[in-house]
Amino acid sequence: MDMLNFRSDTQTLPTEEMLDAMRHAELGDDVFGEDPTVNKLQDMAARMLGKEAALLVISGTMGNLVSLMTHADGLGGEVIVDSEAHVFYYEGGGMCSIAGWTPMPVRSHAGMLDPDEVAAAIRKPDVHYPTARLLCLENTHNRSGGRVVPLDLHKRLCAVAHERGLAVHLDGARIFNAAIAAGVSAADYAADCDSVQFCLSKSLSCPLGSVIVGTRDFIERAKFHRKRVGGGMRQAGVIAAAGIVALTKMIDRLADDHANAKLLARGASDIPGLSVDMASVETNMVNIDHTGTGLSTDEVVDKLKAAGVLVSPRPPRAIRMVTSRHTGRAEVEEAVARMRSALG
Ligand SMILES: *Cc1c(COP(=O)(O)O)cnc(C)c1O
């Protein structure tokens, strides 16, 4: 039986068109700034996000790290960050140990930071305190199940930071999912941010790569920090070629992933023992509460795997399923049928 893989949108494979583009890409040494395909991708990304310049990096984690190193600029200070944010929760503490920031965690509510709570976390300068200099945002919000931070809330959060002299970094790993779900452009979200990183390697189907955008000055300085952490790449046009296909061909179809996630959520919530908060399904992720089955998270994951459905554990109460171009309507319907018989 072929496995239906709903573990993550990071598992998407490059399209045939991407592989062709990679094979035929015009290449040069990108550390010298001479890879025309990288330069084309970076220009395209900067234009789409409405920023002056862009920089290709290896991963989303490197995109956040290099952005945070650039904002720290050797000074560090305090970064206001959601305790549920990827950059705080899943990135090995690089913001502290490598970039030199002291985190001031503020907990989000279903992916939403509260502007008043963020304002309260920004302490007045005092000889006792690290100086608050940066706010980190995330959209879509991964740990809440791909929730979309609405543009008006996003703008209020940016304003709170800027009024107090803090810069804003947006971890927009899935910024195009957010923009499509919110009915705005990625540039609308980027407008109030000093830096944004987004991933090419998730639903956009590239084999690897993320992009940082910001002012020309910020990106020049980011280039130095990327090199310091070993991210200076040579004929990186092979990566950028796939990225160009991603930005031209793979964004509009994200709406299909969102529709299929809703279909999956409705199907799963009809299965005895499973429940889904339908309001939480805004993009391509579905967090499914399994406590009604009486099974542990690992037991549910194993049972579904035996039935040919791969899901991610979100212990102790839930599993996560993510739709992608490899799991269309037919695969979703088949997965729901397999889940029903596995857990019934
Ligand atoms: C996946 C992800 C990242 C990191 O990307 P990698 O390419 O896996 O390093 C950063 N932030 C968020 C919100 C993500 O979902």
Burial class (CB in 10 A: 0-12, 13-18, 19+), 249: middle
Q: Using CA positions, which residue lies closest to atom 8 of ligand 1?
A: 60
Q: pLDDT band for 170, please (50, 70, 90 cuts).
A: very high
Helices (H), 31-83: 36-49, 60-72
155 lies in the same domain as 111: yes
pLDDT digits (tens, 9 = 90+) for 177-209: 999 999 999 999 999 999 999 999 999 999 999
123 lies in the same domain as 158: yes
Instruction: Give the number of the atom of ligand 1 that is nearest the alpha carbon of residue 64.
Output: 10
pLDDT digits (tens, 9 = 90+) for 289-328: 999 999 999 999 999 999 999 999 999 999 999 999 999 9
Within-domain flag for 308: yes
pLDDT digits (tens, 9 = 90+) for 9-35: 999 999 999 999 999 999 999 999 999
Per the DSSP assignment, residues forming a β-bridge with 103 are 79
43 lies in the same domain as 169: yes
Mean pLDDT rounded to a whole number for the chain: 97
Position 234, amino acid: R
* Distance between Cα 106 and ligand 1 center (Å): 20
187 lies in the same domain as 90: yes
Instruction: Give the number of the atom of ligand 1 that is nearest the alpha carbon of residue 59.
Output: 7
Where in the sequence is the domain holding 324, given as residue range(s)? 253-343
Q: How many residues does the chain have?
A: 344
Say whether pLDDT at 1 is over 70: no
84 in contact with ligand 1, CB cutoff 6 A: no
225 lies in the same domain as 162: yes
Instruction: Give the number of the atom of ligand 1 that is nearest the alpha carbon of residue 60.
Output: 5
Instruction: Tally the domains of the chain.
Output: 2
67 in contact with ligand 1, CB cutoff 6 A: no
Distance CA 37, CA 24 (A): 10
* Distance between Cα 208 and ligand 1 center (Å): 11
Q: Which two tokens stand for residue 122?
A: 């920004």
Helices (H), the chain: 16-24, 36-49, 60-72, 86-89, 94-97, 115-121, 151-163, 175-182, 186-190, 216-228, 237-249, 254-269, 297-306, 329-343
Q: Which of 249, 264, 296 represents a domain boundary (last residue)? A: 249
Give me the CATH number covering residue 62: 3.40.640.10
Contact between residue 253 and residue 259 where contact means Cβ atoms under 8 Å apart: no
59 in contact with ligand 1, CB cutoff 6 A: yes
309 in contact with ligand 1, CB cutoff 6 A: no
* Distance between Cα 156 and ligand 1 center (Å): 24
CA–centroid distance for 168 within its chain:
16
**Widest distance between CA atoms in the chain:** 64
* Distance between Cα 97 and ligand 1 center (Å): 18
Distance CA 286, CA 212 (A): 27
234 lies in the same domain as 261: no
* pLDDT for the residue numbered 74: 87
Per the DSSP assignment, residues forming a β-bridge with 210 are 57, 199
* Distance between Cα 215 and ligand 1 center (Å): 22
Contact between residue 65 and residue 41 where contact means Cβ atoms under 8 Å apart: no
Distance CA 58, CA 62 (A): 6
**Angle of CA points 265, 81, 215, to nearest 5°:** 100
> Which residue matches tokens 């002299």?
165
Say whether pLDDT at 91 is over 70: yes
Q: Which two tokens stand for residue 95?
A: 């913001």
Contact between residue 209 and residue 239 where contact means Cβ atoms under 8 Å apart: yes
Contact between residue 50 and residue 187 where contact means Cβ atoms under 8 Å apart: yes
Average of per-residue pLDDT across 66-75: 95
130 lies in the same domain as 52: yes
Q: Which of 249, 280, 308 represents a domain boundary (last residue)? A: 249
Q: pLDDT band for 41, please (50, 70, 90 cuts).
A: very high
pLDDT digits (tens, 9 = 90+) for 112-168: 999 999 999 999 999 999 999 999 999 999 999 999 999 999 999 999 999 999 999
> Which residue matches tokens 């989000």?
108
* pLDDT for the residue numbered 344: 80
Instruction: Give the number of the atom of ligand 1 that is nearest the alpha carbon of residue 62.
Output: 9
Quick one: what percent of the chain has pLDDT higher than 70?
Answer: 100
Instruction: Name residues whose C-beta falls within 8 Å of residue 245's C-beta, 6 or more positions apart in sequence.
Output: 15, 17, 18, 21, 206
Whole-Å CA distances, 113 to 75, 109, 138, 145, 155: 26, 6, 10, 15, 12
Within-domain flag for 91: yes
- Which own/partner pairs from 299-306 qualify as long-range (CB within 8 Å, at least 24 positions apart)? 300/343, 303/342, 303/343, 304/338, 304/339, 304/342, 304/343, 305/3, 306/342
